[in-house]
Amino acid sequence: MTRVFNFSAGPSQLPTEVLQKCAAELMEYGISGQSVMEMSHRSSSFLEIIETTERRLRSLLQIPESYQVLFLQGGASLQFTMVPMNLLKPGGKAGVIHTGAWTKKAIAECRKIGGCEILASSEAEHFTEILKGVTTPQDLDYVHICENNTIYGTKYKELPECGNVPLVADCSSCILSEPMEISRYGLIFAGAQKNMGIAGLTVVIVREDLIQERPEIPSMLSYAVQAKNKSMFNTPPTFAIYLLGLVLEWVENRYHDLAALKTHNQQKAALLYNQIDQSRLFTNPVRPEDRSIMNVPFVTGDAALDAKFIAAAEAEGLVNLKGHRSVGGMRASIYNAMPLEGVQKLVDLMRRFEEENRI
Ligand code: PLP
Which backbone phi and psi does 206 adopt, to 5 degrees? -135, 135
Sequence-distant (≥ 6) Cβ neighbours of residue 20 within 8 angstroms: none
CA dist 214 → 66, 211, 236 (Å): 20, 9, 22
pLDDT higher than threshold 80 for residue 270: yes
Is 171:184 a contact under the CB 8 Å cutoff? no
**Counting atoms of ligand 1 from 1, which one is nearest the CA of 151?**
5
List helix spans (H) across the chain. 16-24, 44-61, 75-87, 101-113, 223-228, 238-255, 258-278, 303-315, 340-356
pLDDT higher than threshold 90 for residue 127: yes
pLDDT tens string 70-92 = 999 999 999 999 999 999 999 99
Q: What is the pLDDT of residue 297?
A: 97
Mutating to test ligand 1, I would choose from 103, 144, 172 the residue with most ligand atoms within 8 A of its C-beta, which is 172
Q: What is the pLDDT of residue 299?
A: 96
Largest CA distance in the chain: 65
Is 278 annotated as ligand-binding?
no
Q: What is the pLDDT of residue 359?
A: 64
Strand-pair category, 154-155 with 148-149: antiparallel
What is the helix (H) or strand (E) element at residue 319, kind and residue range? Answer: strand 318-319
* Cα-to-centroid distance, 152 and ligand 1 (Å): 13
pLDDT tens string 222-261 = 999 999 999 999 999 999 999 999 999 999 999 999 999 9
What is the share, in percent, of the chain residues with pLDDT greater than 90? 98
Is 322:331 a contact under the CB 8 Å cutoff? yes
Structural domains of the chain, with CATH: 16-254 (3.40.640.10), 257-356 (3.90.1150.10)
Question: Minimal CA–CA distance to 9: which of 353, 325, 348?
Answer: 325
**Counting atoms of ligand 1 from 1, which one is nearest the CA of 9?**
8
pLDDT higher than threshold 80 for residue 301: yes
Neighbours of 174 (CB within 10 A): 26
CA atoms of 246 and 268, how far apart (whole Å): 23
pLDDT higher than threshold 80 for residue 178: yes
Question: ipTM score here?
Answer: 0.99
Three-state DSSP state, 274: helix
* Cα-to-centroid distance, 75 and ligand 1 (Å): 7
The answer, yes or no, to whether any atom of ligand 1 lies below 6 A from the CB of 75, is: yes
CA atoms of 298 and 278, how far apart (whole Å): 13
Is 330:310 a contact under the CB 8 Å cutoff? yes
Average pLDDT, rounded, for the chain? 97
Q: What is the pLDDT of residue 47?
A: 97
Cis ω before 166 (30° cut-off from 0): no
Is 150 annotated as ligand-binding?
yes
CA atoms of 359 and 2, how far apart (whole Å): 34
Q: How confident is the model at residue 1 (pLDDT cuts 50, 70, 90)?
A: confident
CA atoms of 270 and 206, how far apart (whole Å): 33
CA dist 123 → 9, 129, 225 (Å): 21, 9, 37
Is 16 annotated as ligand-binding?
no
Mutating to test ligand 1, I would choose from 8, 73, 102 the residue with most ligand atoms within 8 A of its C-beta, which is 102
Average pLDDT score over residue span 182-190: 98
